[in-house]
Structure 1
Amino acid sequence: MNELLSNPSTAVSKTPVARAPEAAAHFTAKLAFETDCADVWYAMNHQQPDFVLVDVRMETLFATGHLPGAINIPTRKLIPARLAEYSADTLFVVYCAGPHCNGSTKAALKLAQLGRPVKEMIGGVTGWLDEGFELARV
């Protein structure tokens, strides 16, 4: 065993690290629930997106700047009638303002409860801008 791991001396290593198979299962499961700004940007700019990108913020915030290619469906409007135009297997990728906001988590939960495939784009608008990507305006 690695000598550093057998004698933990920092807050980082004090809690035992997961074994590789457990870590692989955890991170595989995590990626089933989320995606990131760079992957969304690449898909929107270099591939045929196989998802619908949804900004779940209020209409006024969407109008001031949103991810290019996104549609706006505020969380409160994620209802079966609004989603009826999309096939049942449509993957929705939701985002909100950023890591300080749980709007996309609430929207992802609502979509999942409606039986819809969903991933949350971590970072939201803040992450998008941090990556150096531009916003579209209405």
Structure 2
Amino acid sequence: MTRTLAFPAPAPADAVAYFGAELGFEVDPDDLARDLDAGRTAGYVVVETRAPEAFAAVHIPGAVNLPYRDMTPDSTAHLDRDLVYVCYCESSNCNAATKGALKLAELGFKVKRLSGGITSWMAAGYPVNTTDQAAGGIRCAC
């Protein structure tokens, strides 16, 4: 038996349920970049979940900074509960986006996570707001 097929592929209906759910939880940089570039921003907010100094150094244009460590009922009271909050952090090696999405969901907000974080965003060549502070490279800072 091959390693590839050591575990049988799921039935098509199971694959539809699984992958459909996965797409409900994440958005990839290309889809987000195309929406932002076309001005299609209704219904969601892009949220940087790392520390303020990381946000100041480099972030996706239009993103807001809501560090996951600071998310509380009081600090999020001003947020619109009808919107979806697309959380991102440094990369797939950082879990600040996951922690931020979890906290927002626990507080009753709809959330998604940006696949690969700011690192994947920048690797794809999408625009960022940056300062000289970013010269040392992107870091987790969560």
Normalising by the residue count of structure 1, what TM-score does the alignment of the two structures yield? 0.88
Residue among 18, 43, 53 paired with 1:60: 53
Higher helix share: 1
- In structure 2, stretches of 5+ residues that fail to align are 132-142
Residue among 17, 20, 41 paired with 2:33: 41
Distance in 1, matches of 2:62 and 2:80, equals 19
Match of 1:11 in 2: 3
Pairwise CA distance, 1:37: 0.8
Distance in 2, matches of 1:45 and 1:51, equals 14
Tell me the matched-pair count: 130
Normalising by the residue count of structure 2, what TM-score does the alignment of the two structures yield? 0.86
1:132 pairs with 2:125: yes
Q: In terms of mean alpha carbon deviation, does 76-85 or 46-55 score higher?
A: 76-85
Identity %: 36
CA RMSD of aligned residues (A): 1.3
Q: Greater CA radius of gyration, 1 or 2?
A: 1
Distance in 1, matches of 2:39 and 2:126, equals 17
Q: Deviations over 1:30-85 (max 9, x none)?
A: 11111111111111111321201000111111111111110111111222222222
Moved runs in structure 1, 4+ residues, more than 6 A?
A: none
- In structure 1, stretches of 5+ residues that fail to align are 1-8
Distance in 1, matches of 2:86 and 2:72, equals 16
